[in-house]
Amino acid sequence: MIKRYLLSGLFTSALVAGGALAASQPAVGWTNASPTPNGGSPQSTCAAFSSLSATFTAAPGATNGIIGLPQLNDSYTISVSGPGTGSFRIVGDGAGVVTYAGPASVPGTLTYTVTNPVPPSGALGAGYYFDSGSGTVTLTASCGTVSQLPSISTWGMSLMALLLAVGGAVALTAVNKRRQA
């Protein structure tokens, strides 16, 4: 009797572990960033992302992506046009579990900019996933690095202008006092 429960528990654990492993694996079609033409180190995920551009038949579960974690300040854009229809997302895994941006409907454009250096749990790379779809669609993928320039609000600019004016007035007063002495 105890052996039966142990075997049943072992079998159930194996099924759960196998299902979790299968869900964490990239879907067919996801590829590693390709090596550079001179045989050097692999391209970044961002540099290889444009290779996802294609014309194909949209269908639920259609996916493709680049394996390799997106880097801070990378900005991924996917634009999809018809005549086909569907709903798509920018995702971090082939199963469509990790969503970076979306969903959006065809025709549409999505953009995801990496703002956190720590990737979400389960992320394997960057790609697309169709939740629904039919007909021929054209997908254009691109990626670039966004510079993070500091910005200041209108109130901040006003305060800075006031401080500069006060500083200038103090400096002029000091110069005039030296001339009079």
Predicted local confidence at residue 141, as pLDDT: 97
Q: Domain limits of the chain?
A: 2-145
* Residue of 33 and 54 predicted with greater confidence: 54
Least confident among 25-29, 30-34, 84-88: 25-29
- Determine the average pLDDT of the residues in 31-41: 60
Predicted local confidence at residue 38, as pLDDT: 53
Q: What is the H or E stretch that residue 95 is in?
A: none
* Residue of 99 and 38 predicted with greater confidence: 99
Least confident among 43-57, 107-121, 144-158: 144-158
Predicted local confidence at residue 95, as pLDDT: 94
Question: Mean pLDDT over all residues of the chain?
Answer: 81
Report the alpha-carbon distance of residue 44 to residue 61 in Å, rounded. 25
Against a cut of 0.85, is the pTM above it?
no
Are the C-beta atoms of 89 and 103 separated by less than 8 Å?
yes
Confidence band, pLDDT 50/70/90 cuts, at residue 25:
very low
Q: What is the H or E stretch that residue 154 is in?
A: helix 154-180
Q: Up-side HSE of residue 160: CA atoms within 13 Å toward CB?
A: 7
Query: Per-residue pLDDT for 16 more than 90?
Result: no
Report the alpha-carbon distance of residue 163 to residue 156 in Å, rounded. 11
Tell me the per-residue pLDDT of 81-129, one tens digit each, with 9 for 90 and over.
Answer: 999 999 999 999 999 999 999 999 999 999 999 999 899 999 999 999 9
Confidence band, pLDDT 50/70/90 cuts, at residue 148:
low
